[in-house]
Amino acid sequence: MPSLREAMKSVAQNTSRLLSPDLQKKVNAALIDMEKKYEEAQARLRAALYDKVSLENEVLYLKSKLDEAKQEVKSLKDRATKAVAPPTKKAQPKAKPKPKTPAKKTKTSTKKKK
């Protein structure tokens, strides 16, 4: 906020005029030092904000790529299941089982032949 910075600087300079010349130099040096620190903090903040936005964009890009990969995997899986599915077999007529005929029993006599 440049207007606040300018207001603080003018207040400090006006109050420093009331001080001795030695203290005026100290106040001006402190103001200059504080302004440098402010500029450095603003630069770090801008860099951090840029990094944050870059990382957010990277995350969004990777999410979209992940969604595309999921769709590709799903389509490949569907095609693979269709290709592997056994072909439909023609229904072969089953041979009708022959009706079971009872075996002919031979009569065995219990009598002994002489």
**At 89, which amino acid appears?**
K
Q: What is the pLDDT of residues 67-103, one digit of tens each?
A: 999 999 999 999 888 887 665 666 666 767 666 776 6
Instruction: Flag whether pLDDT at 42 surpasses 80.
Output: yes
CB 19 within 8 A of CB 27: yes
CB 38 within 8 A of CB 5: yes
Instruction: Flag whether pLDDT at 11 surpasses 90.
Output: no
Q: What is the pLDDT of residues 49-59, one digit of tens each?
A: 999 999 999 99
CB 28 within 8 A of CB 16: yes
Task: State the pLDDT at residue 65.
Answer: 97
